[in-house]
Structure 1
Amino acid sequence: MYQENYPQSFPAGFLWGGATAANQIEGAWNLAGKGLTTAEVVKKAVSRKKMSMDEVNQATLQEAIADHTTTSYPKRRGIDFYHHYAEDIKLFAEMGFKVYRFSIAWARILPHGDDEQPNQAGLAFYDRVLDELEKYQIQPLITLSHYEMPLDLTLKYNGWSDRRTIAAFNHYTKIVFKHFGKRVKYWLTFNEINTGTWGFHATGALDQDLPKQQQLQLRYQSLHHQLVASALATKQLHELYPADKIGCMLARMQTYPASPKPKDVRAAQLADQKNLFFTDVQVRGEYPAFMNRYFAENNLIIKMEANDQAILATYPVDFVSFSYYMTTVTESDQDGTTVGNMATGGRNPYLKESAWGWQIDPIGLRITLNEMWDRYQKPLFVVENGLGAQDKLVAGQVHDHYRIDYLRQHIVQMKEAIKDGVKLLGYTMWGPIDLISFSTSEMSKRYGFIYVDQDDQGRGTLKRIRKDSFYWYQKVIATNGADLSDNH
């Protein structure tokens, strides 16, 4: 639609806030009836640049089940949000949060994943969390599944590789929608659903000992089951609360060609297609045709029931959310050189990188926003973006101007995307409070505006300390993104 005037700033009602995951903050892994989750059987990585979240096989799983401590399994302790939630939410409110994205631990509601009746203590905990958010008029944005499925579903069905897990998940989502639906306007189904192609952390299926082709078959079949379950959850919510909004969530990995060579441009296009395949299904309601060739060339057959494609077509999501941390460079004869520990690709010589090797590309966020808006024409929501760094507590203070600089650059590019015509609902930066790293389970990789006194071994007072970035983000929210200056 032609208009003489175009948006110049963040819209009124823009949802500023932060995002966390239950398995990285809650702790209380064995309290109040909660069951063990897949996240809590993953050992801490031996190296800061080596991911560990998928290194689970039958032997390590049994070892973890027999171990009733948190020593090797930091996600079991988190930062004890379970007992500090009121204090933490009060700090979020002090910053001025309009929204707080968090996940519900499925195993806190249904300890075995498919229990007939919910664990009332689990429901009561999240009721208390919502009470605190309502006290400060902070909107909840709830992720239904964030890398923490009940371990019993792995033992019983091998996770999402079995179609019966769809029914278990939708039994859980119906309970959650009915119990919390009047208090929650925004929901997400699966966190970073595309990372299920990496394995266990997202599929809950043991596949480390399978040949590569069988492994890929299992992962894409598991993801099909998640896509169907996501569509059915959308159906459930809209039938119960038609005005509520439910979105999908993608780990967006924008890919650049390494050169203008057509083969490199095509390689980058292929990489982006494999990344966007998942949102294509959840937004457009069908498997995109370009995946047919990929499946055939890799001898993959997606087993579907007769009404699966009709379910996908009938219940698309209301909005599209994604995480954005980095971009990658792709070339036609690439050897898979690692960039950071979240994606593979070539290094971009024009970008700086974090201590963990994640390349920093603020303009890439504007590119991503424009491309996803053009592709889907549905509201977008940046639900993760942040900088992991080794913050130093000196004389009771953390001077994290590098984080302020990182976030400022990305927020500037979000504003530019809004000027470009992108409809953006909000921004929940990742890790407003220091938490356990998803990929390595370490504590020393810190993202937060709030420092938590705990080290990689779990030692510390758990005291919460405001960093310099805390006051900066407070000002950003108060001015709705107009004042991004750093006055410290």
Structure 2
Amino acid sequence: MYLDNYPQKFPADFLWGGATAANQIEGAWKTAGKGLTTAEVVSKAENRKKMSMDQVDQASLAAAIADQTTTNYPKRRGIDFYHHYAADIKLFAEMGFKVFRFSIAWSRIFPNGDDQTANEAGLAFYDRVLDELAKYQIEPLITLSHYEMPLALTQKYNGWADRRVISAFTHYTETVFKRYGKRVKYWLTFNEINTGTWGFHATGAIDQGLTKNEQLQLRYQALHHQLVASALATKQLHQLVPTAQMGCMLARMQTYPATPNPVDVQAAQDADQKNLFFTDVQVRGEYPGFMNRYFAEQGIKITMQPDDQQILSENPVDFVSFSYYMTTVTQAAQDGTAVGNMATGGRNPYLQESAWGWQIDPIGLRITLNEMWDRYQKPLFIVENGLGAVDKLEDGKVHDSYRIDYLRQHIEQMKEAISDGVKLLGYTMWGPIDLISFSTSEMSKRYGFIYVDQDDQGHGSLKRIRKDSFYWYQKVIKSNGEDLS
């Protein structure tokens, strides 16, 4: 049927808000029975443009465990959300948040990951967080695993490389679903699950010292265990809380061909397929055929249990969420094989970039929204998008017009995608309050609408200060995306 009208505004129930992760904001790393996590043993980067989250071997792990300070491990201190959560949520409410995405620290609930009994003090903390959100009618969106698993599981099993971690995870998920299920409608299993192909930060498995093929074997096997665990958690949620919804979460890296040369176009398609492989499994319930050739050529053999395929096929997610920060360009090598990947690629001469070299591409967001909607026909949710920048506090104020410009351009393209017919549930920008950078563990890389008085060494009053963008986003939410001036 032909329709001559189409949506030209954000839906009335659109969920505006912001996103964070426990390991980047909470702090209180040894408080009330919490166990050490994999995020808290990755030292800060020496080069702010070089990510350091997967450079962990047995020696660096031993050194991190022996070091009981936060000096080289800033994620241990975060921004002390653990003690400031009420005031921070009040600021989110002042902006008009409809939703707040945060993660539960698995090791705050089960310090060793596979404890039989949950840590009540940890459960009680998230009760208090949910109480504050309910006070302001802010919908919680909870990530179950955001780059931080209990370190004890790395020591005992080498993280997700061992299938036994699945039962530890589902014990944890069952616990939190029963505790918070009636208060939480939206859940995510694994944050940016596809980045497990990079290593330790997402798999909790130490693979330094292995050959490239051995690393790929370990990482994809660990990721298979996560995909099964995600499906089982989805099954649990649907059984325990039928009204709740489970989503998957992808680090979306839209890939462009460097030229119209068909071999470059094919290389870009190949890179995109490997990026979307993970959502294919979580949405469609089976491994896509295009991965068979890749696994064979790389010598990867995924060990599956007889019922794994049934578990995946019977428990697809309800919606698809993703982070979007940049796009990349790729081309074919001289022998015709693809050299691009989902994380890095060539520079795009038509785009500007941030101080950290991340290329800024608002139109790419519209492109990827359309492609993902066409591919899955399930509601989409942008759960991370933002600009890391060096903000200057002058006379008690931060004039961050560059952040406003960045967000405005992306929101405009979201609206265009909605007019294209994309069903978009919401937008939680990253991160609404300054936090410890995931990739480099520095504080100088600031994303927030709220400035936090803390430097890279952890010095400062932790005072929260509203930036210019705070008032701008307040206006955006109040107008439901109509007033972007």
Scaled to the shorter chain, the TM-score interval is over 0.9
Corresponding residue of 1:344: 344
2 CA distance for matches of 1:137 and 1:4? 37
Alignment of 1:127 with 2:127, yes or no, is yes
Corresponding residue of 1:77: 77
2 CA distance for matches of 1:294 and 1:52? 27
Say which SS state the counterpart of residue 328 (structure 1) adopts: strand
1 CA distance for matches of 2:437 and 2:338? 24
Corresponding residue of 1:230: 230
- 1:323-354 per-residue CA deviation (whole Å, 9 max, x = no partner) reads 00000000102899999xx9210000000000
Runs of 4+ in 1 over 6 A off after TM superposition: 334-339
Q: How does 1:379-398 map to 2 (within 5 A)?
A: 379-398=379-398
Give the letter aligned to residue 95 of structure 2.
M
Q: How does 1:68-467 map to 2 (within 5 A)?
A: 68-333=68-333, 343-467=343-467
Say whether the 8 Å CA contact 2:331–2:338 is kept in structure 1. Answer: no
* TM-score using structure 1 length: 0.98
1 CA distance for matches of 2:319 and 2:105? 23
- 1:244-301 per-residue CA deviation (whole Å, 9 max, x = no partner) reads 1000000000000000000000000000000000000000000000000000000000
Say whether the 8 Å CA contact 2:42–2:55 is kept in structure 1. Answer: yes
Say whether the 8 Å CA contact 2:271–2:340 is kept in structure 1. Answer: no
1 CA distance for matches of 2:3 and 2:120? 52
Corresponding residue of 1:30: 30
Say which SS state the counterpart of residue 18 (structure 1) adopts: strand
- 1:87-116 per-residue CA deviation (whole Å, 9 max, x = no partner) reads 100000000000000000000000000110
CA RMSD of aligned residues (A): 1.3
Name the CA shift for 1:347/1:337 in 2 (closer, same or farther; >3 Å).
farther
Say which SS state the counterpart of residue 32 (structure 1) adopts: helix
Say which SS state the counterpart of residue 343 (structure 1) adopts: coil
Corresponding residue of 1:480: 480
- 1:414-441 per-residue CA deviation (whole Å, 9 max, x = no partner) reads 0000000000000000010000000000
Say which SS state the counterpart of residue 344 (structure 1) adopts: coil
Give the letter aligned to residue 76 of structure 2.
R
Length, aligned pairs only: 483
Say whether the 8 Å CA contact 1:25–1:75 is kept in structure 2. Answer: yes
* TM-score using structure 2 length: 0.98
- Extract unaligned runs of 5+ from structure 2: none
Give the letter aligned to residue 351 of structure 1.
L
2 CA distance for matches of 1:364 and 1:247? 22
Say whether the 8 Å CA contact 1:384–1:429 is kept in structure 2. Answer: yes
- Structure 1 position 6, deviation (Å): 0.8
- Structure 1 position 22, deviation (Å): 0.1
Say whether the 8 Å CA contact 1:267–1:330 is kept in structure 2. Answer: yes
- 1:20-41 per-residue CA deviation (whole Å, 9 max, x = no partner) reads 0000000000000000000000
Say which SS state the counterpart of residue 56 (structure 1) adopts: coil
Give the letter aligned to residue 401 of structure 2.
H
1 CA distance for matches of 2:455 and 2:199? 28
- Structure 1 position 369, deviation (Å): 0.1
1 CA distance for matches of 2:344 and 2:14? 33
2 CA distance for matches of 1:182 and 1:11? 25
- Structure 1 position 3, deviation (Å): 2.6
1 CA distance for matches of 2:393 and 2:435? 16
Say whether the 8 Å CA contact 2:267–2:340 is kept in structure 1. Answer: no
